[in-house]
Amino acid sequence: MEIQCSLDVRYAEQIAALLRPPSPQEIQYSHRPTALDCWHNSKHPTIVQQDYFEHLLAARNCHGLKIKQSGEIGKGVYANMDFEEEDLVLKDQMLVGAQHFSNKAEAFVCSHCFCYIGSIELQIGRRLYLRSLKNRDTEDLKDHVHTSKQSKVPESNVSDVHVQKTAGSSKGAIPEGMVDALMNGGLTLPYSKEFPLPPVFSCIGGCREEYYCSKSCAEADWESCHSLLCVGKESGGSGTCREALARFYEHAAETNDIFILAAKVISSTILKYQNLKTANHECQKKKMKTSEISGPNFPFLLEAWKPFSMGYKQRWWDCVALPDDVECSEETSFRMQMKDLAFKSLQLLKAAIFTEECAPLFSLEIYGHIIGMFELNNLDLVVASPVEDYFIHISDLPPLEMEEADKFTRPLLDTLGDDYAVSCEGTAFFPIHSCMNHSCCPNTKAFKRDEDRDGQATIIALRPISRGEEVTISYIDEDLPCEDRQASLADYGFQCNCPKCLEE
């Protein structure tokens, strides 16, 4: 049975406006919020459109790139200077991102900038502790993980964490109480001071789900989206129903954590909308006279939505790749199921944070496009673990020192096993990166250097790039045969005409 979303019907006009690529006038509005009078009479659309991108690039302190409309194929990123091979071309700050749900037990990171937090001891102790819970009877697992979330290592509550006497001792390698001591600061490992990590800050709303590296990260996340998505006791008053929100998270954890990213997009748009409305009260009055589309405040919603309007291409259920185990004949029903899943998730989110003024954002059509944006545009979020550096440092010490340190670290390494250090992994949307066009012989790639230890995207030149040349990246595995490449790229809705494809 086909799903019907009543908001799709009621707000068809607004949804169409939100999904239209932003007009130059709309882009201009983003940077001159007081210039509402210019809304209808921009004379130089192309020039004006640059403003939005220039703002994005300037905010990233990136002077080597330009974003230009490039005829039929839309926008593209161009070099504004010469780059040598291996030069840093761009560091792109994400608009929204999230650590994968399953990765949260493995890597303890700031929920805003994704750097590792606490200490080497806390990173190791926390993993051992959570692993000891995992190793228990699976029947008990849910309860325990739940409990552990309630009492998991905020700096002031560390003593609340009571490690079971059996923790880590199944292998007999770790002395009793060691995990506890690692987590509560009672034990300092040799040479760990050489790998300092920022302290742990709890969420302002008291949710004990999100932690940060600093007060400023906690506040920035709160203001940009978490205040609507916090299940903490102190988060009241923001119009969020905490029980409904918990159900939404549960559903996302059981099905697909891409829904959490979609919730962040919606929440950050609502918050930005509210700020714009307050800040532009005067403009709003002027606007009332000329607003045609749908109510006086719709331009603010369009404006708040703009950062994402560059990103989406297709609905999620239309663009998600068919899994290998699904027969072609079942494609229609598979896509219907995905749509169903998105609809269920959206209803849960609506029950939690719906606001009438931003109702079009809660339509299935918009939700589908947001999730589709992550399906097609995302860059994996990866941050290397300092725990790995730590153990490598120990193994590289001169023999005597190494032996001495090894007495402490060996049991830990043995218990942690092969995956003794796990990277932070997640998904994020990067606005400049998302403007880069594809090539099967790209001149840049996303690559994290040793010093890149946060959630920003790092784009590096693969060969010299001269000023004026288009900067390209590969959306797919460019080593695949031509036919397979074209098939993969069909998901993105285009046929590749790069030099490599033309030659083949």
Binding site for Zn ion (CB under 5 A): 110, 112-113, 203, 205, 207, 210, 213, 217, 230, 232, 440, 496, 498, 501
Residue 382 β-bridge partners: 425
Pair 422, 130: CB distance under 8 Å: no
Nearer to Zn ion, 7 or 122 (CB): 122
110 or 158: CB nearest Zn ion: 110
Rounded to a whole number of angstroms, the minimum distance from the CB of residue 86 to Zn ion is 23
Length of the chain equals 504
Q: Are strands 75-79 and 470-473 parallel, antiparallel or unpaired?
A: antiparallel
Q: Which is nearer to Zn ion, 42 or 111 (CB)?
A: 111
Distance CA 169, CA 173 (A): 6
Enter the tokens of residue 250. Answer: 């549960």
Residue 210 beta carbon to Zn ion: minimum distance, rounded to whole angstroms: 5
CB of 176 to Zn ion, least distance (A): 34
* Contact residues for 110 (Cβ-Cβ < 8 A; gap 6+): 116, 117, 198, 211, 212, 213, 214, 217
Closest to Zn ion by CB, 180 or 257:
257
What is the chain's percent helix, strand, coil content, to nearest 5?
A: 55, 10, 35
Single-letter amino acid, residue 343: F
- Tell the smallest beta-carbon distance from residue 498 to Zn ion (Å): 3
Name the E strands within 259-392: 379-383
Residues 95 and 459 sit within 8 Å (Cβ to Cβ)? no
By C-beta, is 59 or 392 nearer to Zn ion? 59
Tell me the one-letter amino acid at 258. I
388 CB-near residues (< 8 Å, 6+ apart): 420, 421
Nearer Cβ to Zn ion (82/470):
470
CB of 212 to Zn ion, least distance (A): 5
Q: Which residues does 285 contact at the CB level (< 8 Å), separation at least 6?
A: none
Token pair in block for residue 398? 């001169």
* Residue 501 Cβ vs Zn ion, minimum distance, rounded to whole Å: 3
Minimum distance from CB of 337 to Zn ion (Å)?
Answer: 32
Q: What is the smallest separation between the CB atom of 376 and Zn ion, expressed in angstroms?
A: 17
* Backbone angles phi and psi of 498, in degrees to 5: -70, 165
Tokens of 468: 């004026």
> How many Å apart are CA 335 and CA 319, to the nearest integer?
9
**Smallest gap from residue 37 Cβ to Zn ion (A):** 40
Considering the complex, state which of residue 267 and residue 309 has its C-beta at the smaller distance from Zn ion: 267
Classify the C-alpha dihedral 226-229-234-237 as positive or negative.
positive
Nearer to Zn ion, 122 or 405 (CB): 122
Q: Which of 328, 338, 376, 354 is nearest to 492 (CA)?
A: 376
SS3 for 432?
A: coil
Q: Which residues contact 37 (CB under 8 A, 6 or more apart)?
A: 286
Q: Considering the complex, what minimum distance in angstroms separates the CB of residue 261 from Zn ion?
A: 17
Which CB, 34 or 216, lies closer to Zn ion?
216
**Closer residue to Zn ion in complex, CB, 376/496:** 496
